[in-house]
A and B are shown apart, each in its own frame.
Chain A
């Protein structure tokens, strides 16, 4: 069984658990094979770890779980449309950027990851709506208080 490494831990995974991003991520075209890994200490976040790159992993979250009103749709002219069936609702993940000062951590709502749970294929899509921020502050308990 192949393994990947997250923060020094060897994690075994199955080939069928790989999410394929045919175009890679924006600016990172090599990251075309990612494995979703859950870890109790980082919930509600999960890891998207690169299957073909050592020690590369993103912290992501299902976007709507963090921002209930965030309901992005694929632009009509997006090449990613081809990845999903007409009647399929993709799962939308936001890439999280953890800051050394944790209160400054953000999520990327401008370019979320659309993933098909059915085909395990996905794409990072830049939304046309520029009111979505690349660095949207996380809805932290401390900030809401």
Chain B
């Protein structure tokens, strides 16, 4: 890991386009300003790491037997029926915009 010391108001450059500036320091908090190209996403590490972990866990599920998945889906459909009685507001609907695209494949599974 590269370690640098910077003072408030000083900057560093990553690659040719990403500039990080130390805006202020207060106690153990450091306020940073970041200038990066639009296509470069900047996240707090904890958020990025949590989402990355969730993504990997979700994708890992696909190869497994889906008894849990079928159970959850059945529960969701049951809720759909219940809420249809109560009122249409919370009705569970399929992804309308994609329905026509998906219909053709439905029979193949």
Contacts and interface: CB of A to CB of B under 8 A. Distances in A.
Interface stretch (B5-13, B15-23, B61-69): B61-69
Contacts of A101: 68
A27 B79 contact: no
B78 interface: yes
Interface residues of A, number: 66
A74 interface: no
B26 interface: no
Contact of B109 (A17, A31, A39): A39
B90 A68 contact: yes
Contacts of B39: 23, 79
Interface string A26-56: 1110010000111111111111011000011
Instruction: Identify whether the interface residues of B are mostly helix, strand, loop, or mixed.
Output: helix
B79 A59 contact: no
Interface of B: 38-41, 43, 47-48, 50-59, 61-66, 68-73, 75-80, 82, 89-90, 92-98, 101-103, 105-106, 108-109
22 contacts: A7-B63, A27-B51, A27-B53, A28-B52, A28-B59, A38-B109, A40-B106, A44-B76, A45-B73, A56-B59, A59-B69, A95-B58, A96-B58, A98-B66, A102-B68, A102-B69, A102-B72, A110-B51, A126-B48, A139-B76, A139-B79, A142-B75
Given A11-B108, A38-B102, A38-B106, A43 B73 contact: yes
A97 B50 CA distance: 13
B41 A126 contact: yes
A62 to B, nearest CB: 4
A108 B95 CA distance: 17
Contacts of B55: 25-28, 95, 108, 111, 124
Contacts of B70: 41-42
B51 A59 contact: no
| Most B CB within 10 A of own CB, among A31, A65, A110 | A65
Given A55-B63, A141-B78, 7 more contacts: A7-B65, A7-B66, A11-B108, A38-B102, A38-B103, A79-B38, A130-B47
Contacts of A111: 51, 54-55
A99 B68 CA distance: 7
